[in-house]
Chains A and B, each alone.
Chain A
């Protein structure tokens, strides 16, 4: 079985700051293996070990995703090899464009049975990439996946739905987005990182990929902070507890909360 894990080398919002206008300053944010992607890598490794398959890490982004540090961080997560599309023209690329490039890379790799992604990226978090990628490939997509078993062409996938869980049988290739807690990912050890330094990496030229032209373009023209809830700031004197409780109940009734 040939499994591709689409991962993102993403800026960690922990060090990003939001300006008064709602603009986000990412300049201090450090890039890393996106928060939920280790879960995808773990599911892939387990499935490959159970079926004797191969796991290929795939990422798309600016040049920084191809730095030695980024390569090793990814390859220490249990991939057998990596395929990387790094091109600075992808700076600020949206989910649709990234998914289109990912799809082209998946086609380039060829004979892929399954693509697994994380739940969402830590920097953008649109949750769109897996579905757009599936759409580009003409494959089905399943999100909130909690377990994957079976064989290529006969996968048994369990996913979380609001009412509980669902079990799916999938016959063809598919894109699966792992739920954030589908597995506890192992932390790469020294031997994993050493081995990562020796694993093969294929860098693909963006221009040489077969990416269908988009029908239109999307441009961000403005951003704003979410509206802050305005609070009433009403204080209740609690020196007489019984009276305070009555006043609180009355105030909540008045506001329609009770």
Chain B
């Protein structure tokens, strides 16, 4: 394939989030010339994330990730919480196996992204912060439209391959026609804040020690019945806490995100964890939730899409995963692009190695495994009735009000009869859940 002008770089990466930084880093270590363009004045300035990173993939890229990178705590305690207005039911899962080898860590993007960018610069990537890419440059090629570079302001840069790593709602991939505007049920909105608390207070409240940490996944009253969930993650000296709300449900129920977050933070079962803390960061961001259905075309002549921009996010109900998939897609993209550059064919066909590598990785496999999760998580009952049902059963068991005790099954049946949840729902949702998750 012939290209008109001599390109400025082998590869231009748009967006210095996790996906973009990993792609750029991997390509630079292959010896390619790479420019990494970020609209924020500094990498990480514009990024927000709840903060549990499943870190195995990252360790494959940076073997010393755990000791060198700004990680906060290693997650050894997972707490699953069904929250009702006046009751709370939890499954507390602590496992020392989770810390050896370490499987998940909390991170703050304001620290992680600059670290990644620094690694990129050390590897020879030309970092270009403070520049917002306005559009991609295309030319008509033998197989249709081909991406040949980017434009920002009056300046143009050319490359053999452009990588769109510009996050959820990627306007770059929409512009080139790889994606259409996402339907609302593929999107959620995350509202998050970081609350500063002394180390010892966090360790006492979450019963962790040293660099151990806890991850709370919360469903039910934390979102006031809106599809989604809450989370609370421990950092070294702060707590990341927030809610992820399904956009279609939020719009339909006409609620405001800040009201829901405020309600959650003030909830009698949540507030004690945060008491005395100071909110030092606050923000909201879209989350892609469409699962495999959202992952469409991820390459065309001269361009690949990685990370959130490619729709690579998984919401399994208990975990939001995007950062680890961003890593996996960055690694796979660098592999595919490297092969394409070597064979001097950076057309869609030449770049096919990316998709293959992606689907061979844990990311692609997990996207397939959880393909049905988004639809399952749209089930209303998940967010309201189930928590109340369990709450009422347990109330019947523990509320010793001097009335004669009944067998658990009877208590359960009574609570069940009062609940709008019907047997057929239980069976249907149960089966769907087992299949989807």
Contacts and interface: CB of A to CB of B under 8 A. Distances in A.
A28 B280 contact: yes
A191 B153 CA distance: 10
A68 interface: yes
B370 interface: no
Q: Which 7 A-B pairs have the closest CB atoms?
A: A190-B155, A189-B155, A189-B153, A191-B155, A193-B128, A190-B152, A68-B121
Interface string A190-229: 1101100100000000000000000000000000000000
Majority-rule SS of B interface residues:
strand
Given A30-B42, A30-B45, A68-B121, A189 B129 contact: no
A190 B131 contact: yes
Contacts of B41: 30, 32
Query: By CB atoms of chain A within 10 A, which of B35, B155, B157 has the most?
Result: B155
10 contacts: A28-B280, A68-B121, A69-B42, A72-B127, A73-B129, A73-B130, A189-B153, A189-B155, A193-B130, A194-B126
A193 B131 contact: yes
Interface residues of A, number: 16
Interface of A: 17, 28, 30, 32, 68-69, 72-73, 187-191, 193-194, 197
Given A32-B41, A189-B154, A191-B155, A69 B280 contact: no
B436 to A, nearest CB: 40
Interface string B3-33: 0000010000000000000000000000000
Given A32-B41, A68-B121, A194-B126, A189 B131 contact: yes
Contact of B127 (A30, A68, A191): A68
B37 A190 contact: yes
Contacts of B131: 189-190, 193
B129 A69 contact: yes
Contacts of A72: 127
B42 A194 contact: no
Contacts of B153: 187, 189-190
A189 B127 contact: no
B280 A189 contact: no
A190 B127 contact: no
A32 B42 contact: yes
Nearest to B117: A69
B354 to A, nearest CB: 25
A28 B152 CA distance: 29
A7 to B, nearest CB: 15
Given A28-B280, A69-B129, A189 B8 contact: no
Query: By CB atoms of chain B within 10 A, which of A68, A69, A187, A191 has the most?
Result: A69
Contact of A190 (B42, B45, B157): B157
A27 to B, nearest CB: 10
B42 A189 contact: no
Given A30-B41, A193-B130, 8 more contacts: A30-B42, A32-B42, A69-B129, A72-B127, A189-B152, A193-B128, A193-B131, A194-B8
Contacts of A69: 42, 117, 121, 127, 129
A70 to B, nearest CB: 10
